[in-house]
Amino acid sequence: MSQNAIAMARILVAYATKLGSTREIADVIGAELHSAGHAADVLAMNDVRSIDGYDAVVIGSALYAAHWQRDANRFVHRHVEGLNAARLWAFSSGPLDAKLAAQDLPMTPNAAEITAELRILGHRTFGGRLAADAPIDPQVLATHPIGDFRDWDRIRRWAREIALALDVVG
């Protein structure tokens, strides 16, 4: 390893989820970062007390009606200083459409507003999942596509991109 490389970065992967799909994405990102030689803690945003000690942070939130979860909004406002002290990436999950989920969608206006004070190095929007037995308003189930629209290979590739970015001191 060259002297310009980092042996291991300590990374926080923090997520806000309603039905668990975004947690599953965060878990896969954390596992990829770990397999690339980094230490990754995957935590619900409500469980994060401090960002201190992390070299990098990945934040992610489920999207509902193109809005990040309230927990994500609170997390960003509570930790804005710490987030800006670390290398930071962000993701959104939510499109219930295979074509949309495969595109490189920009951050929604709501998510962009929530993160406006942050120096984000990269953002991705991943597909979401809606199960037929999801404990939500039956009207939502009747009007939204049922299925899993997450592309696990795309999620893993993005996590490896983050790991590579952390391998070299910039």
Amino acid letter, 106 = P
55, 87 in Cβ contact below 8 A?
A: yes
Query: Model confidence over 71-108: pLDDT tens digits?
Result: 999 999 999 999 999 999 999 998 767 777 777 888 99
| Whole-angstrom distance, CA of residue 88 vs CA of residue 6 | 17
Query: Model confidence over 33-86: pLDDT tens digits?
Result: 999 999 999 999 999 999 999 999 999 999 888 889 999 999 999 999 999 999
CATH number belonging to the domain at 10-167, selected among 3.40.50.360, 3.40.190.10, 3.90.550.10, 3.40.50.300:
3.40.50.360
What's the DSSP call for residue 103? S
Residues 154-158 have a mean pLDDT of: 96
What is the maximal distance between C-alpha atoms in the chain? 57
What's the half-sphere exposure (Cβ side, CA atoms, 13 Å) at 43? 14
Q: Which residues 6+ apart lie within 8 Å of 75 measured at CB?
A: 14, 16, 45, 46, 48, 59
Q: What is the pLDDT of residue 140?
A: 64
Would strands 67-68 and 56-64 be described as parallel, antiparallel, or unpaired?
antiparallel
What's the DSSP call for residue 161? H
pTM over 0.75: yes
